[in-house]
Amino acid sequence: MTVMIEARNAMFSFGRTPALRGASIAVDAGEILAVMGPSGSGKSTLLHCLAGILVPDSGEILFDGARVDSMTETERSSLRRDRFGFVFQFGQLVPELTAAENVALPLLLSGVRRTEALRKAYGWFERLGLDGMEQRRSGELSGGQAQRVALARGLVAGPEVLFADEPTGALDSLTGEHVMELLVTAAREQGTTVILVTHEPRVAAYADREVIVRDGRVNAPERIAP
């Protein structure tokens, strides 16, 4: 397997409070990895460092062999826009835009023409069971529908890595399960690597393996052969 994204001995502090204390992790291409750990353990910070949102104080972040931690802000921004996708706990849709425009957003930001971006966005609505929701705004969607729209937005540009931070945290069990099913199916179809932060074991069980973050370090169990 080829390593797609990696943290090597990453350290990061918020002011004087250390969040990562030498976190190391390697995620293979196409792998779905669950990052678990107690609140405040550093799992979201690790995700943000891997995604190039935060830059570690020391240590290395590598994506596809390139050092993310030494990129400029503009380079990291391009990386996030063109090669990564994101899904957060509360969807974080843009309320002024329709659901279809929200899904099309990553494509529009990458310079895809509006008609083409919307055509691609519309294709996701049927796939995620959201037929007829295209023109709704986020306030007119249920939590599960909004999260599926957010999932479509995270995947529409065919990212190489999808970062999902508690993607089902705000949903009831059945809706959360539906979202996870769609996420895993779509990621597998596209060959997308997924890094999934969750504290819910049932969500982590959709991943190929899990790592536990504790006190800013990663505890990875031995890989179990499939």
Partner 1 sequence: MSVPLTLLGLLEREPSHGYDLKRDYDAYFGRGKPLPFGQVYSTLSRLARDGKVVISEVGPGAGPDRKRYIITDLGATEVDQWLIQPVEPEPHLQTVLFAKVVLSLMLDRPASDYLDTQRSSHLQRMRELTEIKRAGSLVDALLADHGLYHLEADLRWIEMTGARLDALRKTVRP
Shortest Å, Cβ 174 to partner 1: 10
Residue 179 binding partner 1, by CB under 8 A: no
Contact predicate 107/82, CB 8 Å: no
Near partner 1 by CB under 8 A: residue from 11, 29, 108, 212:
212
Shortest Å, Cβ 219 to partner 1: 6
CB atoms within 10 A of CB 182: 19
Residue 39 binding partner 1, by CB under 8 A: no
Give the ranges where 43-155 is alpha helix by DSSP (H): 43-50, 73-83, 99-109, 114-127, 143-155
Residue 202 binding partner 1, by CB under 8 A: yes
CB burial of 36-65 (b: ≥16 within 10 Å; e: otherwise) equals: bbeeebbbbbbbbbbbbbbbbeebebbbee
Shortest Å, Cβ 39 to partner 1: 11
Near partner 1 by CB under 8 A: residue from 140, 172, 181, 189:
181
Near partner 1 by CB under 8 A: residue from 7, 162, 204, 213:
204
Can you name the residues that pair with 7 across neighbouring β-strands?
25, 61
Residue 205 binding partner 1, by CB under 8 A: yes
With H, G, I as helix, E, B as strand and everything else as coil, classify residue 97.
coil
- Would you tell me which residues interact with partner 1 (CB under 8 A)? 38, 181, 200-202, 204-208, 210, 212, 219, 221-222, 224
